[in-house]
Amino acid sequence: MRERFHEHLDSFAATLAILCESSGTAMREATVALLRADLELAEKVIDDVGRIDQLALGCEENAFTLLALQAPVAGELRQIVGGVHIVADIGRMGGLARHVAQVTRRRHPDQVLPDDVRTEFAEMGRVAVAMAATAGDVLAGHDPERAAGLDLDDEAIDEMQSRLLVHITGPAWEHGVQAAIDVTLLARYYERYADHAVQVGRRVVYLVTGSNPPGSGALR
């Protein structure tokens, strides 16, 4: 019975890592679709995220099964409850990748992004996908050290978002209000995606050490 419980717990952790990888892939492909105005790829992302949702729901059900199967001890409980939070964060990451794909689909066959912001979004996409990979590694290895790196990446994305907002409200912007709005919302999606990746890292740190990293604020 105890053994079966631990098998379930391992499978739960493995599913989290798969979910995190899938959310990373979704954002990578969503960014490519955005930069290429690739409708087919955008639709693939939207379908894939539907599957991530299903997997996330199954993962949560699995957590309840684990809890019902055998009264777990405190440390195991903390792991499961923390895991349920992590599922929610990773699910949101997938949802944000879907938002990026939906903007691409909405504007197709037009390009969403004017030329002067394409590099910035390519870079935001690159950092966001790297953050999903780091969060997945932290999840798999329970290595709090790597979680700290997520904060640096998060700051980088915040700075890119700020630069974009300054650019689109400045005199050099000549693409009108619609493009400005698309850029604003897209930048926000990447910024939120990064925030959730940071939260995944913090959750793992919390599970391992029992306390929040300094200056991390409330876990939400």
Positions touching its own copies (CB under 8 A) are 53-54, 56-57, 60, 63-64, 67-68, 71-72, 74, 77-78, 80-81, 84-85, 87-88, 91-92, 95, 165, 168-169, 173, 176-178, 180-181, 184-185, 188, 217-220
CA gap 46, 49 in Å, rounded: 5
Residue closer to its own copies by CB (options 147, 180) is 180
Residue closer to its own copies by CB (options 11, 54) is 54
Q: How far is the CB of 97 from its own copies (least distance, A)?
A: 13
Residue closer to its own copies by CB (options 87, 128) is 87
Residue closer to its own copies by CB (options 127, 186) is 186
Q: How far is the CB of 75 from its own copies (least distance, A)?
A: 9
Q: How far is CA 77 from CA 10, 54, 56, 58, in A?
A: 13, 23, 19, 18
Residue closer to its own copies by CB (options 58, 141) is 58
Q: How far is the CB of 183 from its own copies (least distance, A)?
A: 9
Q: How far is the CB of 188 from its own copies (least distance, A)?
A: 7
Q: How far is the CB of 33 from its own copies (least distance, A)?
A: 21
